[in-house]
Amino acid sequence: MAVEIALSQARVRYGPLEALHGVDLGIPAGRRTMLLGRNGAGRSTVLHALAGTEPLSGGQVLWYGGEADARDITGLGAYRRARLGLTLVPAERAVFPSLSVADHLSWLDDAARDAALDLFPELRRLLGRSAGTLSGGEQQMVALAAALAGPSRLLLLDELGRGLAAPVVARVHGALAAAVAAGRTVVLAEQVLPSGPAAPDLVYVLHRGSVVFAGEPGELEGTGISAG
Amino acid sequence: MATPLALDLAVAGIAVGSAAALSGIGLVVCYRATGVLNLAQGAVAMVTAYALRETVVVWHWPRPLAIACCLLLFAPGLGVLMDVAVFRRLQRRNAGTAETLVAGLGVFVLLVGGAALLWGLTPLGDAPVLVPATPLVAPGGLRVTLDTVVELGTVLVLAAGVGAVNRWTRFGTTLRAVVDNRRLAELAGLDADEVSSVGWAFGAFTAGLTGVLLAPGLRLDPYGLPLLVMETMAVAVAAGLRSLPLTVVVALALGVAQSELTALHPAGGNQALLQAVSANLFVLALVAAALLPGRLASAATTQTMPLPGDRPHSALVRRVLLTACAVMLLGPLALRGVDLRSLLPGPALALVLLSLVVVTGYGGQISLGQAGYAGLGALLTGALAGGAVPGVPPLPAPLALPLAVLVAAPFGLLVGWPAIRRRGLTLALTTFAVGTAMSRLVFQQPVLTSGLRLDRTGAWGNDRVFYAVELVLLGVALLLVRALHEGRIGRALGAMRDHEPAAYASGVDVPRLKLLAFTAGAAFAALGGGLLGLGAQAFDPNAFDPILGLLWFAAVVVFGAGSASGAVLAAVALTTLDAATTAGVSAAAIGVLALLRGRFTSPTATRGQPQTRPQPQSQPQPLPERPAEAAEVRLSPLGRRLASQRHGSSR
Amino acid sequence: MSPRGARGAQLSAHGLVRRFGGVIALDGVSLEVPPGRITALTGPNGAGKSTLFRCLSGAERPDAGQVLLDGRDITRLPEHTRARLGLARTFQQIAVFPGLSVADNLRVGAEQAGRRPSKEADAPVARTLRLLGLDQLADLPAADLPTGTLRLVELGRALAADPGVLLLDEPAAGLDRDETERLVLLLTALAGDGLAVLLVEHDRELVDRIADSVHTMAAGRLTDGEGSRAHGR
């Protein structure tokens, strides 16, 4: 199975605290992967380590991007990784408060912008508003719209449902399914494992900065490892 | 003359205000784009002014070409160079405020030293005029000159232009994104470094423009112009380092107010005070802006980290350093009289720098104003010895000196008190502003500096004896500082420096300790200053210039603020270099070292620097082991495949 | 397990209220932290746990309500004074003094919060170093040590003052599995010696294992009564 991106013995330190204690994980290309774990388990840190916004204190980040050979991108800055085709939507502060909604979509081409607005028609009437004045849910829609409609082949989404109503979350999961079907890779970080169409292909469970389970969602049952 | 005087004065004030506004715009734009307050703004202004003079007066370039080259190539290029060579590296590893500050001071000191080396310290009166002061006919008979109109126009065009770019261009969108949230901007694929470079280039351009506009009005020398431009930081700080319109308004208002105050003529001794105030309105504004709460809200929240490299040296290094100090200090006693005289300031300067070790190295409080306390010590010693203090008879110098120290020490509360709630950049600005205010409002006021007596009589008249006295006093101070450092108070200071909230939580009375540190610092600086004055046998305000205060701070940090030997080494190095070489060498050397320091010292892991973690196995197991009941890592077939495919036998 | 002669103290909060602008972070919270027991405070992000913790430690003042230490009103006392009365705390982001040696970190606690002259601080420092197994590291600078060891240094700084109450803000943050196990043993032993321990912790599993009583916070209030449970000790 082709791998999109991987962490090898990754360690991340915030000042004196080590948040990841040597994590190994591979993200399969063209699949939906989910990182599970409770607060402080290291989910968000894994995403930031992949995206380059948290430097590693040890280990490597390997980028495959659909190729057979890995490229060591450990030292590559976040914006260069973004240009490789990787997008992270963080769980908090995911929009630029002083930029308008239209500004957020201005980095997309015309077709992508239309696609973004088709996915979230709610945003059409908010185009001129600055993002800082939007509700939390609306902000999340702006961030997701820009990420989903963008050209990235790898999407890293941290708690994507935050602030969104259930029907909107379902719509997002539909769009993610379409993205995966089109060959894109999706990584979600959540506290609990969703069921039904939103269920992932592969699950990693993190506990206290280490991977304690890796496998298919069905295998998680009966292991005694809980995420929530 | 149909117009009232007030209106004419206002027009005159606008010229000064415009220059301040230009500098302020550059500071604000650069700060917003990079998060760094460019302390070297004044030095860039000075160097650009020198460059323009060099090209026009010495090389005889055509004026438009010279202006274009200096303002559009030289100054912005300098800004980009500062970014690429110094600040980008710091930003990338999230360096703390203190480190960024030292780097900025390094650039400042290097540029000042370089200028002194290249062009000497003699003030030059022939800086080329950019726009002639051609009188224009204005409605109502107002006296307006072309240069004022052009300067004000430039300010308005630049402010409006920045606003327009910000709002309506693609680059503006990127800029606002980076200002909002640098990390998120990088995630969106925006090159934040590029934005920083543009910020630095623009900031340096406005600095250069300010410099060439101000230079013809004063005599160009390496110290005066930088300090003048640094005072204009007041308008940027007053505008919270955010708002351009507010920056322009404050700058123009201060310029006009300064001009209008000259028209007031109150009776009696208030005249001198008023003159001092009006001549130094920007300094007072800087003090006020730094002291007003909330002006620098965003900057004030940044936690100051102790300067890396401030940890105690190893035993061997310590021994070598101490030996070097002893040799350098005792050596001069064997020298000829002339040579000894040029090295007289060594131990005195060491005492001043020792005050920085106590305040900054031990206590973690940034202080850029120690030159003020040194000057105060010299001034008070002279006043007490000269009988200039009403009700006190003239005292012999050996009595006047300790008394001056006692009187000067409580003035440490001037910055100690604000320091209780301030840290990092805000504290640096506050201490600098207070030091500058002391220099301008006290040391440079003839009323206050007349009747001073600093000549040495009796045994102290002999240079060799006086040098020995200096050494003894330095020795006593070193013993005191050592006792302070190694005792209970020293540990409490270290706790406050390393982690203020945890110091509170450990029962350290942080406010009292800060007051103590600044008071002790003021006392040591005053003692050193008094000896400097007695050594030179005269009170020279320039010996305690605020710019020197910046140089001293950088020097102590370079030689190690964490140990007393660092202060002694720095003092000896500065004095010897000044005595043995031409002006500027010492400053340039300190600047180079300050910049190299930022490049080579690697902060410790606790300061967020990526670092390989020591293997836990190599550490003693601190607590009894409990049998591992933790679940083994469970891998599914798919998981195993993924793990083994990529990482061999790591699982 | 340890020869420490810790005297426990009773920390109580009555009707604490704290507002930030229009937002009420604490809405009349009352809490007892009795000696000899581990009391845990849990709840989602933004529930007000940190604000409560800071009001107890003295880093913040409540707008209304009282904080009592062994019946004495300490609501208006600053944090360093509370520390000298025997209220010790740790930080979520481990707070040590990297410029000081491990032993001097503990010594600051013993001298300042413990109000001892330098000479009398030797004994509690040595005792605490032994208790935490830090003897061999005593003279190393408290920087560059592994997270678990730094956490112990911080705890040592708090314990060297012989506190009556120990406030811990997510003490297991950043620790791996083994380090967490050792922390659990240590905290249980300390409470067994009579110390009053308050633990703010996300990890419900950890809380359930070691706490004698668990309080859950939501939206600035304690949502449950005392969920007391028997704890095998």
The radius of gyration computed from the CA coordinates of chain B, to the nearest angstrom, equals 27
Between residues A224 and A40, the one the model is more confident about: A40
Best of B311, B506, B516, B612 to mutate (most C CBs within 10 Å, chain C): B506
Per residue in B55-72, pLDDT (tens digit) is: 999 999 999 999 999 999
C-alpha distance from C129 to closest chain B C-alpha (Å): 10
H-run or E-run covering B377: helix B370-386
Whole-angstrom distance, CA of residue B285 vs CA of residue C128: 52
Specify the length of chain C in residues. Answer: 233
Check A17 against C174: CB less than 8 A apart: yes
pLDDT at C4 over 50: no
Please enumerate, as own/partner, the contacts of B397-405 that have beta carbons within 8 Å and a separation of 24 or more.
B397/B454, B397/B456, B397/B457, B397/B460, B397/B534, B398/B460, B400/B530, B401/B527, B401/B530, B401/B531, B401/B534, B404/B377, B404/B380, B404/B526, B404/B530, B405/B377, B405/B523, B405/B526, B405/B527, B405/B530
Strand order in the sheet with A3-14: A17-28, A3-14, A58-63, A71-72
Check C170 against A40: CB less than 8 A apart: yes
Structure-block tokens of residue C201: 């912790």
Check A58 against B650: CB less than 8 A apart: no
- What is the maximum alpha-carbon separation in chain A? 51
Indicate the pLDDT class of residue B1, thresholds 50, 70 and 90: very low
Strand partners, C66: C14
For the residues B280-307, what does the mean pLDDT come to?
A: 68
Whole-angstrom distance, CA of residue B115 vs CA of residue B42: 13
How confident is the model at residue B77, as a pLDDT? 97
The verdict on A130 touching B (C-beta cutoff 8 Å) is: no
From the CB of residue B118, how many other CB atoms can be counted at a distance below 10 Å?
A: 14
Lowest mean pLDDT among A141-155, B8-22, B137-151: B137-151
Residues 158-197 of A with CB under 8 A from B: none
C-alpha distance from C83 to closest chain B C-alpha (Å): 5
How confident is the model at residue B61, as a pLDDT? 95
How confident is the model at residue B138, as a pLDDT? 73
Lowest mean pLDDT among A220-224, B297-301, B394-398: B297-301
How confident is the model at residue B383, as a pLDDT? 95
How confident is the model at residue B91, as a pLDDT? 83
Please count the CA atoms within 13 angstroms of the CA of B178 that sit on its side-chain side.
27
How confident is the model at residue B160, as a pLDDT? 96
Check B622 against C177: CB less than 8 A apart: no
As separate numbers, helices (DSSP H) first and strands (DSSP E) second, chain A gives: 7, 10
Check A40 against C45: CB less than 8 A apart: no
CA distances from A46 to B175, B284, B557, C73, C75 (A): 28, 50, 38, 45, 41
How confident is the model at residue B312, as a pLDDT? 54
How confident is the model at residue B209, as a pLDDT? 95
Chains that contact C by 3+ CB pairs under 8 Å? A, B
Percentage with pLDDT > 90 across chain B: 59
How confident is the model at residue A222, as a pLDDT? 67
Between residues B159 and C115, the one the model is more confident about: B159
The verdict on A97 touching B (C-beta cutoff 8 Å) is: yes
Per residue in A1-17, pLDDT (tens digit) is: 689 999 999 999 887 78
Please count the CA atoms within 13 angstroms of the CA of A175 that sit on its side-chain side.
22
Structure-block tokens of residue A70: 């890995």
Best of C55, C61, C112, C183 to mutate (most B CBs within 10 Å, chain B): C112
Name all domains of chain C by residue range, CATH numbers in brackets: 11-228 (3.40.50.300)
Lowest mean pLDDT among B118-132, B205-219, B433-447, B610-624: B610-624
Indicate the pLDDT class of residue B337, thresholds 50, 70 and 90: confident
Between residues C162 and B650, the one the model is more confident about: C162
Nearest residue of chain A to residue B190 (CA atoms)? A79
Between residues A60 and A197, the one the model is more confident about: A60
Check A208 against C96: CB less than 8 A apart: no
**Chain B, chain C: beta-carbon pairs less than 8 Å apart:** 139
pLDDT at C92 over 90: no
Q: Where are the domains of chain A?
A: 31-55+77-220
How confident is the model at residue B464, as a pLDDT? 92
pLDDT at C229 over 50: no
H-run or E-run covering B196: helix B192-214
Per residue in B498-508, pLDDT (tens digit) is: 999 999 999 99
Return the amino acid letter for A6: A
Residues 188-227 of C with CB under 8 A from B: none
Indicate the pLDDT class of residue B619, thresholds 50, 70 and 90: very low
How confident is the model at residue B647, as a pLDDT? 42
For the residues C28-48, what does the mean pLDDT come to?
A: 91
Please count the CA atoms within 13 angstroms of the CA of A14 that sit on its side-chain side.
19
Nearest residue of chain C to residue A208 (CA atoms)? C176
How confident is the model at residue B130, as a pLDDT? 86
Between residues B537 and C118, the one the model is more confident about: B537
Structure-block tokens of residue C225: 């009564």
The verdict on C95 touching B (C-beta cutoff 8 Å) is: yes
Task: Write the secondary structure of A159-218 as one string of H (helix), E (strand) and C (coil).
Answer: CCCCCCCHHHHHHHHHHHHHHHHCCCEEEEEECCCCCHHHCCCEEEEEECCEEEEEECHH
Check C148 against B622: CB less than 8 A apart: yes
Nearest residue of chain A to residue C95 (CA atoms)? A16
Option in A9, A78, A99 nearest B180 (CB) = A99
For the residues B265-283, what does the mean pLDDT come to?
A: 81
State the Cα angle at A113 between A109 and A114, rounded to 5°.
125
How confident is the model at residue B279, as a pLDDT? 86
Per residue in A189-222, pLDDT (tens digit) is: 998 888 777 789 999 999 889 999 999 888 887 6
Whole-angstrom distance, CA of residue A193 vs CA of residue B567: 61
Per residue in B203-231, pLDDT (tens digit) is: 999 999 999 999 998 889 898 899 989 98
Whole-angstrom distance, CA of residue A108 vs CA of residue A111: 8
Option in C143, C152, C154 nearest B622 (CB) = C152
pLDDT at A117 over 70: yes
Strand order in the sheet with C11-20: C23-33, C11-20, C64-69, C72-73
Option in B306, B605, B624 nearest C99 (CB) = B306
Name all domains of chain B by residue range, CATH numbers in brackets: 4-262+276-297 (1.10.3470), 345-546 (no CATH)
pLDDT at B616 over 50: no
C-alpha distance from B633 to closest chain A C-alpha (Å): 5
For the residues B505-517, what does the mean pLDDT come to?
A: 96
pLDDT at B644 over 70: no
Indicate the pLDDT class of residue B458, thresholds 50, 70 and 90: confident
Option in C78, C99, C117 nearest B497 (CB) = C99
> Hey, what CATH topology would domain A31-55+77-220 get?
Rossmann fold (3.40.50)
Strand partners, C24: C19
Best of C108, C115, C157, C169 to mutate (most B CBs within 10 Å, chain B): C108
Structure-block tokens of residue B121: 């310290």
pLDDT at B650 over 80: no
Residues 193-222 of B with CB under 8 A from A: 193
* DSSP labels, B571-587: HHHHHHHHHHS-TTHHH
For the residues B151-171, what does the mean pLDDT come to?
A: 93
Indicate the pLDDT class of residue B273, thresholds 50, 70 and 90: confident
Per residue in A133-175, pLDDT (tens digit) is: 888 889 999 999 999 999 999 999 998 888 888 889 999 999 9
How confident is the model at residue A226, as a pLDDT? 57
How confident is the model at residue B92, as a pLDDT? 79
Environment class of residue B192 by beta-carbon count within 10 Å: exposed (0-12), middle (13-18) or buried (19+)?
buried
The dihedral over CA atoms of B179, B185, B189, B190, expressed in degrees to the nearest 10, equals: 0
Indicate the SS3 state at residue C74.
Answer: coil
How confident is the model at residue A224, as a pLDDT? 64
Structure-block tokens of residue B449: 């500096």
Check C95 against B505: CB less than 8 A apart: yes
Whole-angstrom distance, CA of residue C200 vs CA of residue C168: 6
How confident is the model at residue C203, as a pLDDT? 80
The verdict on C91 touching B (C-beta cutoff 8 Å) is: yes
Option in C91, C141, C157 nearest B501 (CB) = C91
How confident is the model at residue B140, as a pLDDT? 73
Which residues of chain B lie closer than 8 angstroms to A116, CB-CB? Answer: none
How confident is the model at residue C153, as a pLDDT? 95
Asked if residue A103 lies in contact with residue B168, where contact means CB atoms within 8 angstroms, the answer is no
Indicate the SS3 state at residue B153.
Answer: helix
Percentage with pLDDT > 70 across chain B: 87
Lowest mean pLDDT among A192-196, B437-441, C102-106, C225-229: C225-229
Whole-angstrom distance, CA of residue B497 vs CA of residue B186: 33
Nearest residue of chain A to residue B634 (CA atoms)? A213
How confident is the model at residue B529, as a pLDDT? 97
Query: Which of the given ranges, B434-448, B504-518, B621-635, has the highest pLDDT on average?
Result: B504-518
Read off φ and ψ for residue B406, nearest 5 degrees. Answer: -65, -40
How confident is the model at residue C224, as a pLDDT? 72
Between residues B305 and B75, the one the model is more confident about: B75
Per residue in B163-184, pLDDT (tens digit) is: 999 989 999 999 999 988 989 9
Per residue in B97-122, pLDDT (tens digit) is: 778 888 999 999 999 999 999 999 89
Best of C53, C54, C80 to mutate (most B CBs within 10 Å, chain B): C80
Structure-block tokens of residue B271: 């005249």
Per residue in B572-613, pLDDT (tens digit) is: 999 989 888 888 899 999 999 998 876 654 433 333 333 333
How confident is the model at residue C21, as a pLDDT? 81
